[in-house]
Chains A and B, each alone.
Chain A
Amino acid sequence: MQSNAALEYDYSVAKLFTYTTILFGFLGMLLGTLIAAQMAFPELNYMLGEYGTFSRLRPVHTNTVIFGFTLSGVFATFYYVGQRVLKVSMAESKFLMFVGKLHFWLYFVGALVATVSLLLGYSQSKEYAQYEWPIDIVIVLIWVAWGTSLFGLIGIRREKSLYISMWYYIATFLGIAMLYLFNNMSVPTYFATEGLGNFMHSVSMYSGTNDALVQWWYGHNAVAFGFTVPIVAMIYYFLPKESGQAIYSYKLSLLSFWGLMFVYLWAGSHHLLYSTVPDWMQTMGSVFSIILILPSWGSAINMLLTMKGEWNQLTENPLIKFMVLASTFYMLSTLEGPIQAIKSVNAIAHFTDWIPGHVHDGVLGWVVFMIMAALFHMAPRMFKREIYSKSLMEKQFWLQTTAVVLYFTSMWIAGITQGMMWRAVDEYGNLMYSFIDTVAVLHPYYAIRALSGVLYLTGFLMFAYNMIKTMTVSRELTQEPQFKSPMA
Chain B
Amino acid sequence: MDIRELQGYANFFMTIFLVIMLYGYIIHLYRSEKKGESDYEKFGNIALDDEIDSKPIVPNPKTMNENEEQNK
Residues of A whose CB lies within 8 Å of any CB of B are 1-5, 7-9, 83-85, 87-89, 156-161, 163-165, 236-237, 240-241, 244, 246-247, 249-251, 254-255, 258-259, 262, 266, 278, 280-281, 284, 483
Interface contact B30-A1, CB-CB below 8 Å: no
* B6-24 with Cβ < 8 A to chain A: 7-8, 11, 18, 22
Chain A residues in 8 Å Cβ range of B50: 84-85, 87, 241
A-B contact pairs, 21 of them (CB 8 A): A3-B70, A4-B53, A4-B67, A7-B52, A9-B52, A84-B47, A158-B59, A159-B56, A159-B59, A159-B60, A246-B44, A249-B41, A250-B42, A251-B29, A255-B26, A255-B29, A258-B25, A259-B22, A262-B22, A266-B11, A284-B11
Known: A158-B67, A255-B26; 16 extra A-B contacts, CB below 8 A, are A1-B67, A4-B52, A4-B67, A5-B53, A8-B52, A9-B52, A158-B64, A159-B46, A159-B60, A160-B56, A165-B47, A241-B50, A258-B22, A258-B25, A266-B11, A483-B48
Chain A residues in 8 Å Cβ range of B48: 240-241, 244, 246, 483
* Cα A255 to Cα B50 with chains together (Å): 24
Contacts A158-B60, A251-B30, A251-B33; A246 near B67 (Cβ below 8 A):
no
Chain B residues in 8 Å Cβ range of A161: 43, 46, 57-58
Interface class of chain B by DSSP:
helix
Interface contact B61-A160, CB-CB below 8 Å: yes
- Residue of A85, A156, A158, A262 with most chain B CB atoms under a 10 A cut-off: A158
Interface contact B63-A255, CB-CB below 8 Å: no
* Cα A84 to Cα B54 with chains together (Å): 10
Which of B25, B41, B58 touches A250 (beta carbons < 8 Å)?
B41
A215: min CB distance to chain B, Å: 18
* Cα A161 to Cα B4 with chains together (Å): 43
Interface contact B11-A280, CB-CB below 8 Å: yes
Interface contact B53-A159, CB-CB below 8 Å: no
Residues of B whose CB lies within 8 Å of any CB of A are 4, 7-8, 11, 18, 22, 25-26, 29-30, 33, 40-48, 50-54, 56-61, 63-64, 67, 70-71
Interface contact B29-A163, CB-CB below 8 Å: no
A444: min CB distance to chain B, Å: 45
* Cα A142 to Cα B12 with chains together (Å): 37
A182: min CB distance to chain B, Å: 17
Chain B residues in 8 Å Cβ range of A85: 46-47, 50
Interface contact A250-B40, CB-CB below 8 Å: yes
Interface contact B43-A163, CB-CB below 8 Å: yes
Chain A residues in 8 Å Cβ range of B44: 240, 246-247, 250
Interface contact A246-B61, CB-CB below 8 Å: no
Chain A residues in 8 Å Cβ range of B64: 158
Interface contact B47-A240, CB-CB below 8 Å: yes
* Cα A125 to Cα B29 with chains together (Å): 45
* Cα A246 to Cα B42 with chains together (Å): 9
* Cα A483 to Cα B47 with chains together (Å): 10
* Cα A271 to Cα B46 with chains together (Å): 39
Contacts A255-B25, A278-B4, A280-B8; A89 near B52 (Cβ below 8 A):
yes
* Cα A287 to Cα B45 with chains together (Å): 36
* Cα A83 to Cα B50 with chains together (Å): 9
* Cα A156 to Cα B71 with chains together (Å): 17
Chain B residues in 8 Å Cβ range of A165: 47
Chain B residues in 8 Å Cβ range of A483: 48
* Cα A241 to Cα B54 with chains together (Å): 15
Chain A residues in 8 Å Cβ range of B4: 278, 280
